[in-house]
Amino acid sequence: MRKEVLLHTCCAPCSIYVGEFFEKKGFEVVHMFYNPNIHPFEEYRRRWEALNDLVCKTGRKLIAPFPYNPLEYFSVIQEGEGRCPQCYRLRLTQVARWGKEHGFSFFSTTLTISPYQDVACIQRIGGEVGSDFGITFLGVDFREGFAESMQRAKNLNLYRQKYCGCIFSRWEGVKRRIWKSLTGRSFS
Ligand code: SF4
Overall average pLDDT of the 72-82 stretch: 92
Mutate to test the pocket of ligand 1, among 38, 110, 162, 166 (most ligand atoms within 8 A of CB): 166
What is the structure's pLDDT at 2?
A: 64
Q: Is 166 in the pocket of ligand 1 (CB under 6 A)?
A: yes
The CATH number of residue 112's host domain is 3.40.50.620
What is the structure's pLDDT at 24?
A: 97
Residue 178 lies in a domain: no
What is the structure's pLDDT at 1?
A: 59
Overall average pLDDT of the 158-185 stretch: 92
Distance 21 CA to ligand 1 centre (A): 24
What is the structure's pLDDT at 173?
A: 87
Residue 98 lies in a domain: yes
Q: Which protein residue's CA is at the shortest distance from atom 3 of ligand 1?
A: 84
Q: Which protein residue's CA is at the shortest distance from atom 6 of ligand 1?
A: 166
Range of the structural domain that residue 137 is part of: 4-161
Residue 182 pLDDT > 70: yes
Amino acid at 165: G
pTM: predicted TM-score of the whole model, two decimal places: 0.95
